Structures are given as structure tokens and as C-alpha cells.
Amino acid sequence: MTNSNSEMICVGAIGGAFGVRGDVRLKSYTANAEAIADYGPLVTGDGAMEFEVEVLGTVKNGLSVRLTNVSTKEQADALKGVQLFVPRDRLPETDDDEYYYTDLVGLEVRDTGGTILGTVKSVQNHGATDLLEIHGPDLKATVLLPFTHAAVPTVDIAAGRIIADPPEGLF
């Protein structure tokens, strides 16, 4: 089905059936939601299923889409929660100061004085701004660092590190 040598990136998740003809509600994680259909077949995380996507329209919290080989409400319901992936090489290159979440996870985080604060465990977004979840041996709990230019002035993917200037008292 797909080239297993290429890193797979999650571009969306199925929210369940939409209507009675097998259409599904799809949460798109792409910058332009409807562009998810342009990346070729989307593959389930286990690689067992592959779908072409036809966007039918926008709905609350996502898109209404038709997936190849899904033609009943029951088939659509069975896919609820399934994440969909594409090989990274099908995604567009990022601009300066744009990053794929997957590139940030695992990066070392240092403060502006060079002290290691921890590593990026995940990237979260609860509506206002992206947050870097930082964990490290000296932290009692993970810390959510706002992923803004003020708090994170430098991201060096090649060197595997982030330089942070966190708000006072965060760490």
C-alpha cells in the first residue's frame, strides 16, 4: 500500500458517521482543512485500510467527507476515532517559523542561559495558542510552555534543540 520507509504523519481523524449513506465527519489537522483530500490516499495507523477522500462540505468541528469503500452508516460508525496518515513526503515543505508537530517532539529545551529544562513530550492546542508539553528529570510534573516567539525565540530542528525564554516562575 504505502512506502514503509517514509515517516507517516497524522493528518486527520474520523469523528463518526455523518448521515445515512456512509459519509463521515472528519477532523482535518492540515493548515487548510479541505486540502486533506489533496494528499492522495489516507492510510489507517495500522496500514490495513486506505481511503481516497472527497470533501462534501464543512460541518461543525470538521468536514463532511466521502471515503472510498465506505457506503453504509454502519461502516462509517465502525471507523469512529480512527486516525488517518500520509507519508511525510506528500506534505508541503514548511516556511521559516513553521514546524510540523512531529518535528518538535523529542527536542531538547534549554533556557537562554544554556540550562537544560527538559524535552518536548507533545504539542497541544486548546484553542488560543500551541503549547509545548515539556518534561524532564528535574520537573515534578510536565510544564506547558506557550509556543510563541517571545517564549520560544529559537527552534533549531537540525541541532535538535529549542531555546526558551519562559515566563517568570514557569519552571
Name the domain count of the chain: 2
27's CB contacts (< 8 A; 6+ apart) are 12, 13, 14, 15, 61, 62, 63
CATH number at residue 119: 2.30.30.240
Same domain, 14 and 75: yes
Prediction pTM value: 0.68
- Tens of pLDDT, residue by residue over 59-112, are 988 999 999 999 999 999 999 999 999 998 888 887 777 888 888 999 999 999
- Tens of pLDDT, residue by residue over 109-161, are 999 999 999 999 999 887 778 999 999 888 889 999 999 999 999 999 889 99
C-alpha grid cell for residue 99? 514546524
Beta-ladder partners of 83: 13
How far is the C-alpha of 56 from the C-alpha of 163, rounded, in Å?
43
Same domain, 109 and 152: yes
How far is the C-alpha of 114 from the C-alpha of 164, rounded, in Å?
9
